Amino acid sequence: MRRTRPACASARLSHPDSTNGSHESGRSIWMGCFLGTGLGVPGLPYRFAFDTITGKRMTSAPNNEKKTWMKRVVVSGSAGFLGSHLCERLHGMGVEVIGVDNLLTGHMENLSSLIGKEGFTFLHHNVVNYLHISGEVDAVLHFASAASPPDYMDHPIQTLKVGAHGTVNMLGVAKAKGARFLMASTSEVYGDPQISPQPEEYWGHVNPIGVRSVYDEAKRYAEAACMAYHRTHGLDVRIARIFNCYGPRLRRDGRVVPAFLHQALMGNNITVFGDGTQTRSFCYVDDLIDGLLGFLHCDYVGPVNVGNPEEYTVLELAKIIVELTDSVSEVVYRDLPADDPKQRCPDISKAKSLFGWEPNVDLRDGLTTTLQWFRAEFGRELSELDQRVALQRKGQ
Ligand SMILES: NC(=O)c1ccc[n+]([C@@H]2O[C@H](COP(=O)([O-])OP(=O)(O)OC[C@H]3O[C@@H](n4cnc5c(N)ncnc54)[C@H](O)[C@@H]3O)[C@@H](O)[C@H]2O)c1
């Protein structure tokens, strides 16, 4: 028999299964239970808890007091940046987690806090191929996909396949288990947007044959597949459109935050593409996971934007990073890559009204924490470089 899960007051579209949980039962499970936290990040405070019925913020409580209707979940892309944070958070909430990854762009070190622990299983598997999971599953969270432009341009066919076949396979797992399905979509479905901020109703401005199209169109296909399973089979899907996220464990994979952090720490030139006036928004990973879990526990199919609506130009980001790292680096300009979006800023009014979520971590605070992780991660490389930078400074 299926386990019940709660509906939320803002329900619009619901899976037949979710009628098992009345608002009252949903409330009794959730009141005071879902907490936004600064999980594992020194210096970042616990932030909020909210009542999923009223959407009102409540007082903070420690992370380990969180409860959820989910008992067992599957997370694809679990060895990646977001997947590993998600697995850790869910495991910390007492949920049994089955992580699936083929390690295309992910690393087992990202899961070092979970490997060997009770309640966590890792499956080395390419989700483009059929996947069987035995036993009950309450939710399938599909995060497998190369995500940074250099990664998906290096693996264009794998990216198309994981967005298409991989999504359909994971939807199949959710269907077989009667589980809720959350898909990690992206702001890239808006392409190079002609309006800003981007609301979910905007259909986007995507070059279907450009170099970035393997990612953008794969995610657009994946969204279409989610809706087809929802409309045809009544599958309980959630489509989260994730905007730029940063934090510890972000590899140097070409994304702007780790690229600038590394260049600044090494005392190298900071490479800004174009004139640096293109905008991006940056959401700290703990905030993002709060938002995704809020959405997962809300009875709304989506799509819902999850990201930080504070917009910065790329040049502003470079200057903040130079300041935080006290770096001698200078900004140099390079040609803008093909189809690089000129602006990127989420309209998060839906997330706010549906599940009372908005990000809380200030960019400088989040970057400072990320910087600590970078320093620890690239310690030796950096200490050699520190000496070089110190010598450069002396020579000034
Ligand atoms: N990080 C962001 O800012 C951001 C923004 C928008 C959307 N997203 C989405 O979130 C998800 C995770 O992104 P991330 O930043 O953690 O990237 P990541 O590269 O760190 O993680 C992706 C993970 O998916 C795995 N993977 C790729 N293809 C696979 C396959 N066929 N089978 C099994 N595993 C596979 C990789 O090995 C990796 O561990 C992606 O779907 C991405 O599109 C991320």
CA–centroid distance, residue 252 to ligand 1 (Å): 14
128: left (phi over 0), alpha (psi -120 to 50) or beta: alpha
Task: Ligand 1 pocket test: pick from 143, 157, 190, 345 the residue with the most ligand atoms within 8 Å of its Cβ.
Answer: 143
Task: Say yes or no: CB of residue 287 within 6 Å of ligand 1.
Answer: no
Give just the sign of the alpha carbon dihedral 293, 298, 302, 308. Answer: negative
| pLDDT at res. 382 | 66
Task: Say yes or no: CB of residue 284 within 6 Å of ligand 1.
Answer: no
CATH number given to 16-394: 3.40.50.720
| Residue boundaries of the structural domains of the chain | 16-394
Residues of the chain scoring pLDDT < 50: 1-4, 6-65
Tokens of 308: 């930080």
CA–centroid distance, residue 80 to ligand 1 (Å): 6
CA–centroid distance, residue 106 to ligand 1 (Å): 8
Cα 390 to chain center, whole Å?
Answer: 37
Cis peptide before 197 (omega within 30 of 0): yes
Cβ contacts of residue 2 below 8 Å, gap of 6+?
17, 20, 136, 178
Task: Say yes or no: CB of residue 77 within 6 Å of ligand 1.
Answer: yes
**What are the Cα distances from residue 19, in Å, to 50, 180, 226, 295?**
22, 13, 20, 18
Tokens of 351: 């997330």
Q: What span, in angstroms and rounded, lies between the C-alpha atoms of 255 and 183? A: 21
pLDDT tens for each residue of 125-153: 999 999 999 999 999 999 999 999 999 99
pLDDT tens for each residue of 47-60: 333 333 333 333 33
Cβ contacts of residue 168 below 8 Å, gap of 6+?
225
Atom 1 of ligand 1, residue of closest alpha carbon: 245
Burial class of 339 by CB neighbour count within 10 A (0 to 12, 13 to 18, 19+): middle
Task: Say yes or no: CB of residue 105 within 6 Å of ligand 1.
Answer: yes
Q: What span, in angstroms and rounded, lies between the C-alpha atoms of 351 and 374? A: 31
Query: Closest ligand 1 atom, CA of 142?
Result: 41
Task: Ligand 1 pocket test: pick from 82, 123, 125, 239 the residue with the most ligand atoms within 8 Å of its Cβ.
Answer: 82
Task: Say yes or no: CB of residue 127 within 6 Å of ligand 1.
Answer: yes
| pLDDT at res. 326 | 86
Q: Which pTM was predicted?
A: 0.83
Q: Which residues are catalytic?
A: 215
CA–centroid distance, residue 229 to ligand 1 (Å): 22
CA–centroid distance, residue 145 to ligand 1 (Å): 4
Query: Closest ligand 1 atom, CA of 83?
Result: 16
CA–centroid distance, residue 392 to ligand 1 (Å): 38
